[in-house]
Chain A
Amino acid sequence: MSEALSQPSVLTTPELSIKDSSLMSYFPAMLAVGGAILLTLLRWQTGGEHFISDGALMMLALASYLTAAVFFLTNLYAPSTLFQKIGLWTATAGVFFNASSWGVRWIAAHDRELAILSRQGGEMPWFFRYIPFANLYDLSLAFAFGAGITTLLIAHRRNFRFLGAISLPLASLVLILARFIGGEFINLPPVLDSYWRPIHVGIASLSYGIAMVCFAIAVVYLLKDGVKVEAMAIWSSIFALAVIATIGGTFGTFPILTTATYSASTFLPPRMPLPLRADIPYVGPLLVLAGILLLGVIALFGRYVAKKDEQSKRWGHYLLKASLIVQVLAIVVLVSQVKGITSVAVCAGERPEGTACVDARRFHKFGVWMAEQQGLTPEQTAQIPDDKLERGASNWIQENQSKLFLSLNANPVELAALITAFAATLFVIIFSFRTDKLRAALPDKEKIDSLMYKTGGVAFAGLALLLMTGAIWANESWGRYWGWDSKETGAFVAWLTYGAFLHSRISRGWTGRASAYFAIVAFLLVIFTYLGVSYLLPGLHSYA
């Protein structure tokens, strides 16, 4: 052994510490959470009369996330310390408002329970009974918070602050979905009245948020790795086309493509959604046009990717931009029509102004639903002649049509999906603008890849905890750990996919692009579990 080894030298270096970050770099995340706790306590102390509502806080969070995303995105194209700082602090405000919204909602739910008790009597339920994890609105608030706080925690490394440009718009989409679902409180079903609910659902929302950030990193990696924006446009267009094809009616009937008509669900006062849709004018043709343009985008960009045909590329971009404009128009028209239409009616002949028409082809389905509501079994309903069912439905609608109304809360997933399709198209267009400069502004591929691995790992751990707590809750409440319920199975498949993402990386050395594709597929499965199961498949988790 050399003499020098037994004579350690003391070197002074400014950056010798392996840890490169101080606790202070987490200050924005701590500030957001601490501030939200204080605001919630303030709400508790002062009461709700003159206090900002949870819905208003949610809208502030949405505005902050979008503003922060704009600054982060601008910072990528025109680097500026000021823009980066504004982005960071606006994102911090967004997480603060998001968490406050959830906290204030908790206290508001407590006040509501008190009001019910003062009317009806009874015992005050325990504190965790009204924790806001009861339906998809509550879960969406927490989901967006999970994505927001993960973005802030990652932003402690200056190099990764840009991530908010992708992850915060995604969190905003979740809040938009929450806005469309509507924040009405529900009466908690006894099946959910367990202390395992906050544990299980809390873990779900945070791990979904982390998975969302992992997805955002995967998209950034693909961009940095040189995946053609046109190839991304093909995928985003396929997604948008799938949205247009499936919305507007029963899943699998493709109403927009077959009838060029969009119809929205109707409500009966006070807020009872009916399985009866009324046609909204102009939206259907606009969506069909958007679909045709997107088909053109797919064909032209497909040709460009396969044959390097520059002409196809140029025209593909024109069509992509045109499809964006048409998609915006369709969304604006849809929202303004739903807001502006004042009556729902069975129309004979021309549609009166300000009226959404119920088409006669919807009578049969509604008649079947009415029979079910009267306690008839499917076998008994099947024995009723079709014309009798339709007549019954028609009579009921004509008697009650003056009460029916439309609402943006009627089809939350459809509206959120349309906006997501628009956002995907918008981002591809943004990426296509000075792509090389954008790529140069992003950190090294290896660093992005490493971050993707870390967030994927945490998402995997979170989903594992989700499955474990779910199994314990199920065993405590129903006497079995596992029941192959649709949401259980969905969560299990998503967890396995993250497991495969990690396994392929560690044992097979799949890093980079292959890993990014895995992360994207895994997140799509998370979203399917989150929304698809709630809206498409019946099961124990249908409420959330």
Chain B
Amino acid sequence: MTEVVNDVDKIAKSVTPLPFTVECTDIQQKLIKKEGPITADNTLDWLTRVKIKDSAYGEQEALIHLNAPYDYHGYRLFQASFIADGKARSITLRVTPESGGAPQDVNIPRAGSATLPDGTRIDFMDFNAQFSLGSEQVETERSVYTNPAATLLIHPPGGEAVKAFAFSPDMAERAPIAKKPVAGYTWRLVDYEKVPLAHVLSIQKDPGSPVVYVGFLMLAMTLGAVFFFSHQRVWALVEERGPQNFEVVLGGNTNRNKLGFGDRFKRLTGAISGEVLEVKKS
């Protein structure tokens, strides 16, 4: 796992080994408007399915999506961000026999396979949104599907596996390579479920979070105490000046809201003008 390290004088990236490996098995981007663009604005949720392989705890599968991180033995896996990738979750191929015959449509999920009636197996190896034969791969916006192409590995019955590309029908018209049959078939890419963005997970090991939360709780309680339970003290000095005649001297202080306290204090002093009903002497 790569993480950002904040030292006193620099910020650097470091690689931290994890005691387990994470293998992504599927990603999915749920859209708000299905016919809308595959952008962050139009996204309801990003889902990532992973397989965690750990020598200590074996293998297990997990689903991680927004607001639903996955806790794994003190580690927490979050759906963190995304980067442009330009892949496909599934493809639909139109396979036409070279010898003539009706074309058939085959749907293959990512990293999956399909087998034709004659026993030919097709492995869906890779997908490229901007296929190019040369080295002129466009690196800037890989999530724009200008020249989509699927990379396939064809296993003819009894023959050796051969690599083939399936292009969209309009591109196939332009590229001679696409017209050439491979393993006895022509391969056309007629549909695909776009996955323009790769998901980035963050993995957190944060054994200190309970301490932070307790700190938050204490701060909240202190704030309550500070504002709602001010310390107020009142002293009274009562001196007998004569029979049925007392002098009462009052004093007081408070640590907060002196004006409010002054108000109450004035009312208190104003109230002490009553008649003496009883004098207790001990």
Point out the residues of chain B lying under 8 angstroms from A468, CB to CB: 216, 219-220
Nearest-neighbour CB distance to chain A for B169, whole angstroms, equals 20
**Would A375 and B37 count as touching, CB distance under 8 A?**
yes
Report the nearest A residue to B37, measured CB to CB.
A375
Residue A481 at the chain B interface, CB threshold 8 Å:
yes
Stretch from B102-110, B113-121, B182-190, B272-280 at the A interface: B272-280
Compute how far the CA of A2 lies from the CA of B239 in the bound complex, rounded to whole angstroms. 7
Compute how far the CA of A96 lies from the CA of B252 in the bound complex, rounded to whole angstroms. 41
Residue A477 at the chain B interface, CB threshold 8 Å:
yes
A-contact 0/1 string along B221-249, CB 8 Å cutoff? 00110010000101001111000001000
**Would A7 and B263 count as touching, CB distance under 8 A?**
no
Compute how far the CA of A457 lies from the CA of B209 in the bound complex, rounded to whole angstroms. 28
Residue B144 at the chain A interface, CB threshold 8 Å:
yes
B-contact 0/1 string along A458-478, CB 8 Å cutoff? 101100110010011001111
Compute how far the CA of A10 lies from the CA of B275 in the bound complex, rounded to whole angstroms. 9
Point out the residues of chain B lying under 8 angstroms from A373, CB to CB: 36-37
**Would B37 and A11 count as touching, CB distance under 8 A?**
no
Compute how far the CA of A472 lies from the CA of B214 in the bound complex, rounded to whole angstroms. 11
User: Please, how many residues of chain A have a CB less than 8 angstroms from a CB on the other chain?
Assistant: 55
Query: For chain A residues 221-244, which have a beta carbon within 8 Å of chain B?
Result: none
The answer to whether residues A461 and B227 also contact, given A194-B67, A373-B37, A453-B257 and a CB cut-off of 8 A, is yes
Residue A306 at the chain B interface, CB threshold 8 Å:
no
If over half of A's interface residues share one DSSP class (helix, strand or loop), that class is named, otherwise mixed; here it is helix
**Would B69 and A11 count as touching, CB distance under 8 A?**
no
Residue B141 at the chain A interface, CB threshold 8 Å:
yes
Residue A193 at the chain B interface, CB threshold 8 Å:
yes
Residue A15 at the chain B interface, CB threshold 8 Å:
yes
**Would A380 and B238 count as touching, CB distance under 8 A?**
no
**Would A4 and B239 count as touching, CB distance under 8 A?**
yes
Point out the residues of chain B lying under 8 angstroms from A377, CB to CB: 141, 144
B-contact 0/1 string along A37-56, CB 8 Å cutoff? 00000000000000000000
Nearest-neighbour CB distance to chain B for A364, whole angstroms, equals 20
**Would A374 and B44 count as touching, CB distance under 8 A?**
no
Report the nearest A residue to B259, measured CB to CB.
A450
**Would A13 and B272 count as touching, CB distance under 8 A?**
yes
Point out the residues of chain A lying under 8 angstroms from B272, CB to CB: 11, 13, 16
**With A12-B277, A190-B66, A192-B67 already in contact, 10 other A-B pairs whose C-beta atoms are closer than 8 Å:** A10-B278, A11-B277, A18-B268, A189-B44, A373-B36, A375-B37, A450-B257, A450-B259, A464-B220, A506-B256
What are some 22 contacts across the A-B interface (CB < 8 A)? Answer: A2-B237, A4-B239, A5-B237, A5-B238, A6-B282, A7-B279, A7-B281, A15-B270, A15-B271, A18-B232, A18-B234, A187-B44, A189-B45, A372-B39, A377-B144, A380-B141, A446-B262, A453-B259, A464-B219, A477-B69, A479-B204, A481-B212
